[in-house]
Structure 1
Amino acid sequence: MLMENYTYNSLTLQLEGLSVPKESVYPVFLFFFFSYLFILIVNLGIAFLVFIDTNLHQPMYLLFCNLPFNDILGNSIMLPRVMMNMLRPPSEHSISYYECIVQAFTTHMFGTTSHTVLMIMAFDRYVAICKPMHYASIMTNRMVIKLTVFAWGSAFVLVAILLGLTIRLNRCRTMIMNPYCDNASLFKLSCDSVVINNAYGLTFTVVLLTSSIGSIVLTYTKITVVCLTSKSKSLNSKALKTCSTHLFVYLIIVFNGISIITLHRFPQYSFYRKLCTILFHIIPGSLNPIIYGLQSKEIRKFLLKWIMSKKVLQS
């Protein structure tokens, strides 16, 4: 009986992986490898820069630092495993059940936290532009900590329930039909009823997207009204610079998410769907620090000063 249960709920799973033509394996592998390397270097660099430069110890940059950590976490759990499997035959694409759970948890944490962090950043922009006289009293260090805890805490609770509902199921299959583990792939291994999982998954998606899109639309509507009624060119310029950056990053994440959901409806494009799920991690992780780095006058000044000091030392 024990042996039967063990084989029924196998602790070793198989990953389908990314089916890349033989001649494209190494180019795709190198693309993923250098993307991952770039994500690590640039995101760690931006976070370190904010940490050491006191001019950047402002709520906007401190809240932004949540994105680099989230991008590093999301890519570090997923990309190395995907790259490793690309160089192995399909028969060796095995993963332990517990590692799969951790991978699925961090994958969903990455996607959820991307939305919650951008929500708290939208609140910061709203206070800065609509209530500039009260900004310092509202956006205190304590408020920054509260917002950060909210962003990560709410994401943790939502994802923990999502995975908790999946862990309770018995498994009668072992093939994960994806390049990496996620919740949907895991509960599809079960022969039990997954009605509750589907219901919560739908509720989870609706609540997250409604809260995310709703908060962005609300804050940006109020910001737009303030800018249209204000005759201050400096205020409008500040709003355009900071808000366009934030909005661009948000639209990248939403577009990636919609692309994956749309491609799920077309099984014949499964390769593109799988590639899209990987790019969902790579694209924001690569672009976020560049977009904020180029937009921020303080970050540009620090980098320029650092480059000039290097040139002086060399000469």
Structure 2
Amino acid sequence: MNNVSVDLLQLEGLKVSPAASLPAFVLLLLIYVFIMVSNLGLVLLISTERSLHQPMYLLFCNMSINDAFGASVVVPRLLSDVFLPGSDRYISYVDCVVQAFCAHFHASTAHTVLMIMAFDRYVAICDPLRYAAIMTNTMLVSLSVSAWTVPLLLVGVLLGLSVRLSRCRRIIFNPFCDNASLFKLSCESVLINHIYGLGYTVVLLGSSLGSVTLTYLRIAMVCLSSRNQALSRRALQTCASHLAVYIIMFVSGSIIIVLHRFPHLSDHRKLASIMLHVVPPAMNAVIYGLQIKAVREKISLLFTKRNHRPLS
């Protein structure tokens, strides 16, 4: 079928009543500001604080940057459209493809970044004597580059398969553009898209869940068999933060996949898709930020100065 006038697409956006538009805008804006300030603030702190120039914190910068990126992909567009009626929310096809690519790239990179962070903890706890020799600057760069390159290639193919299709529809039934929304614009067969999408999901989630599970089972065994209980407790405390971040991210993504199987819960799935780009980025900064001693000290100093501020 020949393309209709679909260079300009209609985007469903955030479904809220006119009365709820202002509260939704304020809430989303506050969450977005918190995500950007907390995550970019942590990156700045780790970059400037020499005591934090350790592999664990330097690898964590990948997560903070990805979280700020992921929130910026979705939230600003939702904010700009929240006061518009659904019939007036438009996005160009090119912008839609870019947003879909960035959304999937963010979600995929979250998995690969957590995988390299799990590897770092594994080496630090299970092979501490060789940690400095293994986690060199070259290794840190290699791990970081691989964490961003692998999702780039996987998502590039995913979106490429959708872009190749002709289009006969122009409505995106989703709060923001994603791959499924793009190939649903076509009247052609999308079997290849479904096959690759399923394979992509299985490989990414399978490798992520498998590597993190095996890594932390091994870490738990080493800590439980260690005679230095104080050191084991500190190691487990550090790993608990990483696991909490991973569980939040994995559950958020899994909810969307499960809800795809229930068409009558489409509104719940759409809300969950927004939460994937909002909840993990906000929680990651809190969980990891409070674990870093330098962050706790600066927060404590900030509140101490406020409490001792002289009355005018």
Find out whether 1:227 has 2:184 as its counterpart: no
Letter in structure 2 aligned against 1:11 = D
Larger mean Cα displacement after TM superposition, 227-236 or 128-137: 227-236
Q: Contact 1:173 / 1:189 at 8 angstroms: preserved in 2?
A: yes
Q: Structure 1 119/165 Cα, relative in aligned 2: closer, same or farther at 3 Å?
A: same
Larger mean Cα displacement after TM superposition, 271-280 or 16-25: 16-25
2:244 to 239, 248, 261: 248
Residue 81 of structure 2 is matched in structure 1 by 85
Identity between Structure 1 and Structure 2 (%): 50
Please, which runs of 5 or more residues in structure 1 have no aligned partner? none
Find out whether 1:44 has 2:40 as its counterpart: yes
The structural deviation recorded for 1:290 is: 0.7
Q: Contact 2:223 / 2:236 at 8 angstroms: preserved in 1?
A: no
Give matches, 1:58-207, under 5 Å. Answer: 58-207=54-203
Q: Deviations over 1:17-38 (max 9, x none)?
A: 2221232222122111111111
Give secondary structure in 2 for the equivalent of 1:246. helix
Residue 11 of structure 1 is matched in structure 2 by 7
Please, which runs of 5 or more residues in structure 2 have no aligned partner? none
Letter in structure 2 aligned against 1:127 = V
Find out whether 1:298 has 2:294 as its counterpart: yes
Residue 255 of structure 2 is matched in structure 1 by 259
Distance (whole Å) between structure 2 residues aligned to residue 116 and residue 31 of structure 1: 30
Q: Structure 1 234/224 Cα, relative in aligned 2: closer, same or farther at 3 Å?
A: same
Distance (whole Å) between structure 2 residues aligned to residue 232 and residue 298 of structure 1: 25
Q: Deviations over 1:33-57 (max 9, x none)?
A: 1111111111111111101100010
Q: Structure 1 171/303 Cα, relative in aligned 2: closer, same or farther at 3 Å?
A: same
Give secondary structure in 2 for the equivalent of 1:180. coil
Q: Structure 1 78/169 Cα, relative in aligned 2: closer, same or farther at 3 Å?
A: same
Find out whether 1:217 has 2:213 as its counterpart: yes
Distance (whole Å) between structure 2 residues aligned to residue 265 and residue 109 of structure 1: 23
Distance (whole Å) between structure 2 residues aligned to residue 230 and residue 292 of structure 1: 25
Give secondary structure in 2 for the equivalent of 1:172. coil
Larger mean Cα displacement after TM superposition, 49-58 or 288-297: 288-297
The structural deviation recorded for 1:236 is: 1.1
TM-score normalised by the chain length of structure 2: 0.95
2:282 to 274, 281, 286: 286
The Cα RMSD (Å) is 1.9
Give secondary structure in 2 for the equivalent of 1:65. helix
Letter in structure 2 aligned against 1:233 = Q
Q: Contact 1:9 / 1:170 at 8 angstroms: preserved in 2?
A: no
Q: Structure 1 89/195 Cα, relative in aligned 2: closer, same or farther at 3 Å?
A: same
Q: Contact 2:249 / 2:276 at 8 angstroms: preserved in 1?
A: yes
Letter in structure 2 aligned against 1:17 = G
Distance (whole Å) between structure 1 residues aligned to residue 183 and residue 286 of structure 2: 37
Q: Contact 2:168 / 2:186 at 8 angstroms: preserved in 1?
A: yes
Q: Contact 2:220 / 2:236 at 8 angstroms: preserved in 1?
A: no
Larger mean Cα displacement after TM superposition, 48-57 or 220-229: 220-229
Q: Contact 1:9 / 1:171 at 8 angstroms: preserved in 2?
A: no
Distance (whole Å) between structure 1 residues aligned to residue 206 and residue 251 of structure 2: 15
Letter in structure 2 aligned against 1:199 = I
Q: Structure 1 53/305 Cα, relative in aligned 2: closer, same or farther at 3 Å?
A: farther
Larger mean Cα displacement after TM superposition, 175-184 or 305-314: 305-314
Q: Contact 1:18 / 1:271 at 8 angstroms: preserved in 2?
A: no
Letter in structure 1 aligned against 2:23 = P
Matched positions, count: 311
Q: Structure 1 306/51 Cα, relative in aligned 2: closer, same or farther at 3 Å?
A: farther
The structural deviation recorded for 1:150 is: 0.6
Give secondary structure in 1 for the equivalent of 2:277. helix
The structural deviation recorded for 1:119 is: 0.3
